[in-house]
Amino acid sequence: MQSPYNLNSVMSRLHARQLRLLIAVAEQGSLLAAADRVGLTQPGASKALKELESTLNAPLFMRTNRGLVPTEAGTCAVRFARLIQSDISHLQQELSAIASGAGGRIAVGTIMGAVPLLTRALTQLMDQQPDISVEIVEDTSESLLALIDQGRLDAAICRSSVSPKPHLYDTVVVKDESLAVIAHQAHPAAGLASITLEDLSASRWVVYRAHMPMRRTLEREFFEENLLFPTHLIETTSALATLSLLSHNPNLVALVSDDVADYVCQHGMVARLPLRLKSRSEPYELIARRNAHRHPALTLLIDSLLALRAVAEEAPAAP
């Protein structure tokens, strides 16, 4: 049976304005508002949408009391329309950079624990490419992967394991993550030589929300020690919120990456508690959309990350 999605047929009938309209309808939920955004009359937008549905051989939206909502096929089409739009935007930026002699622009995401690693790598990148422009987005792995899917990030340091479709990504392991517990310098355990997890049972924990890798690691630690997991948690993915909370309350503790702990302790913001954790979190990966165009600066960033990994692996272990 011949597929209705013949590439040559689709490419010959597909127009950039249709893709812009498709994205606008999904975001506005209204054909009239979408038409206004892309500079079409409502009849013109209606005709363009019908032509697009004919080209793709599928209904893309359904009418509800909330307006126009994408069908399953529509959701798929919108995602690819955004990717196409993003790739064209990247093309425009790189051509402009070539014409001006500048370094172009990349957008990179990171989870909280990898912020120090990314900033070190970006410092090296900017030394090599002083004219590069960089956007940094800090969020959870789940949210960063969604931004990669939409073409809004070139890559992110996070974990592909949280995705139900990890095969959609190209990944490079850039660092094994080890974890530390930090607290206010006046926390009762801060001056001790060593402590156990049970010693922190009366403390209130600042943690990632459920099902995130670092949260699962902490839950596993409590389970293996036959301890009840703490209640009355404070959940946040913000490094600034975590540090601000710890600085105002000596009874709070938080689980962070070793890199984050090293940075904030060096600057006197908090103290590292003398708790040796048995578990290691999942390694960080530099993740990009599979087979997507790779900006030359992204290749340099990967090289910097791998060089930092090599240095860390050669360094002697801390006593």
Tell me the pairing of strands 105-110 and 133-138: parallel
Q: Which residues pair with 209 in a beta bridge?
A: none
Residue 59 has phi, psi (to 5 degrees) of -70, 135
Q: Are residues 156 and 227 in the same domain?
A: no
Residue 92 lies in a domain: no
Q: Quick check: is 118 in a domain?
A: yes
Domain ends where: 28, 45, 80? 80
Examine the domain organization and report whether 170 and 296 are in the same domain: yes
Predicted pLDDT of residue 200? 92
Q: Is residue 88 part of a domain?
A: no
Q: For residues 148 and 156, is the Cβ–Cβ distance under 8 A? A: yes
17 shares a domain with 43? yes
Same domain, 148 and 295: yes
Q: What is the pLDDT of residue 143?
A: 92
CATH code of 289's domain: 3.40.190.10
Q: Where is the domain boundary, 80, 110, 138?
A: 80
* 168 and 288 part of one domain: yes
DSSP state of 129: -
Q: Cα dihedral angle (266, 269, 270, 272), rounded to 10 degrees?
A: -10
Whether 2 maps to a domain, the answer reads: no
Indicate if 214 and 244 belong to the same structural domain.
yes
CATH number at residue 22: 1.10.10.10
CA distance 30 to 1: 36
Query: How many CB atoms within 10 Å of residue 299?
Result: 10
**What's the pLDDT score for residue 2?**
43
Contacts of 74 (CB under 8 A, 6+ apart): 22, 26, 58, 59, 60, 61
* pLDDT in the model for residue 291: 84
| 93 domain-assigned | no
Q: Is residue 89 part of a domain?
A: no
72 with 198, same domain: the answer is no
DSSP 114: G
Convert 11-40 to b/e letters by CB count within 10 Å (16 or more is b): eeeeeeebbbbbbbbbebbebebbbebbeb
299 found inside a domain: yes
Q: Which of 301, 297, 295 is nearest to 90 (CA)?
A: 295
Q: So what's the pLDDT on residue 255?
A: 92
- Does residue 22 belong to any structural domain of this protein? yes
Residues 255 and 217 grouped into a single domain:
yes
Containing domain of residue 111, as a range?
Answer: 102-174+283-314
Q: Do residues 185 and 303 both lie within one domain?
A: no
Sheet arrangement for strand 252-257: 234-235, 204-207, 252-257, 179-183, 271-272
Same domain, 154 and 296: yes
Q: Is 264 found in the same domain as 230?
A: yes
Nearest Cα neighbor of 54 from 4, 8, 2, 17 is 4
Is 304:311 a contact under the CB 8 Å cutoff? Answer: no
The tens-digit pLDDT sequence of the chain (319 residues) is 345 556 666 666 778 888 899 999 999 999 899 999 989 898 988 998 998 888 888 899 998 988 899 999 989 889 888 888 877 776 776 676 655 545 678 899 999 889 999 999 999 989 888 888 889 999 999 999 999 988 889 999 999 988 988 899 999 999 888 899 999 999 989 989 999 999 998 889 999 888 888 888 999 999 999 999 988 899 998 888 999 999 999 999 999 988 899 989 988 889 999 998 887 778 889 999 988 878 788 888 999 998 888 887 776 554 4
- Based on the structure, what is the number of domains in the chain? 3
Locate tokens 């987005």: which residue? 137
Same domain, yes or no: 222 and 170: no
